[in-house]
Structure 1
């Protein structure tokens, strides 16, 4: 299991720590256009709310990562958190950004080595259920998360998802 204490701001933008400010700006602009509230005006209330939430996440990430001082401070905090973990986590991946493989009932994400990260629907449901039981009495804005290892190299990612939205596939 991987505790998702705080969202990885680079993952929110679909970027990495080595990306330049121009690359981050480009990703921010793409995502801001995609999730802007005006684009979801005619959508259902849950879709509009989900889009608004994602837009606010993207905007908050950009505000921190676009400023050199706040980005440096964030990078230092991020590195300190990584050093506290039992194993190194290369990055954070949101479940909604993974590819759903219907036949195998797994979410997949490509690794930079050419391999892949795989998390089963069952793992996601078990972790979500466990978190809901832990927080039975409280309304929480918490995220679920699991550590997933690449099937060909030693990299690890933390796959996260919101416990408040229905990101799980139900059949």
Structure 2
């Protein structure tokens, strides 16, 4: 839903994450009227208008529903955090140690602290193949990756 190459859905509607549902609906209606294929005047701009209309409609389908909007906002925020944080290194989940007592994978930090990924965190990542993890002692961050096939095996 929140792909780095994908346009910001709020920007497509000319809004912001702080806009209410009514404000977004109003923006959607204005843009839908402006770019709807039935209202096109010139043939040469028809293709770009239809493309814009489809983008606006797709953005509204996600942002117009509370559940999908919440999911989009969470994925959007996770993407922002990935871009903002300095990642010290990338670690594969297979290189981490499984801690049976805590039901989590751990990896030692150079400061003596620990990076931990619980099974619940892995399962909440959906189709993503990694997660940012902070050290429990210092400010270092690692990016833990896994193959989706391996993740499915661990969940069984």
Q: Could you state the TM-score of these two structures normalised by the residue count of structure 2?
A: 0.50
| Post-superposition offset of 1:86 | 4.2
| Post-superposition offset of 1:30 | 0.2
Give the unaligned 5+ runs of structure 2.
Answer: 86-156
State the match for 1:70 in structure 2: 68
Answer 1 or 2: higher relative contact order, Cα 8 Å, separation at least 6: 1
- Please give the residue correspondences for 1:22-171 in structure 2 after superposition, counting only pairs within 5 Å: 22-40=22-40, 42-45=41-44, 47-86=45-84
| Post-superposition offset of 1:38 | 1.1
Cα distance in 1 for residues equivalent to 2:14 and 2:75: 19
Cα distance in 2 for residues equivalent to 1:29 and 1:20: 14
Cα distance in 1 for residues equivalent to 2:39 and 2:4: 29
RMSD of Structure 2 on Structure 1 (CA): 1.7
* 1:47-95 deviation per Cα after TM superposition (whole angstroms, max 9, x unaligned): 10100000000000000001000000000000001111148xxxxxxxx
* 1:90-124 deviation per Cα after TM superposition (whole angstroms, max 9, x unaligned): xxxxxxxxxxxxxxxxxxxxxxxxxxxxxxxxxxx
* 1:104-158 deviation per Cα after TM superposition (whole angstroms, max 9, x unaligned): xxxxxxxxxxxxxxxxxxxxxxxxxxxxxxxxxxxxxxxxxxxxxxxxxxxxxxx
Aligned residues between the structures: 83
Cα distance in 1 for residues equivalent to 2:77 and 2:84: 13
Cα distance in 1 for residues equivalent to 2:24 and 2:84: 29
Three-state SS of the structure 2 residue aligned to 1:85 is helix
State the match for 1:16 in structure 2: 16
Contact 2:4 2:79 survives alignment (8 Å)? no
Cα distance in 2 for residues equivalent to 1:37 and 1:66: 21
Instruction: Return the index of the structure with the highest Cα Rg.
Output: 2
Cα distance in 2 for residues equivalent to 1:4 and 1:62: 19
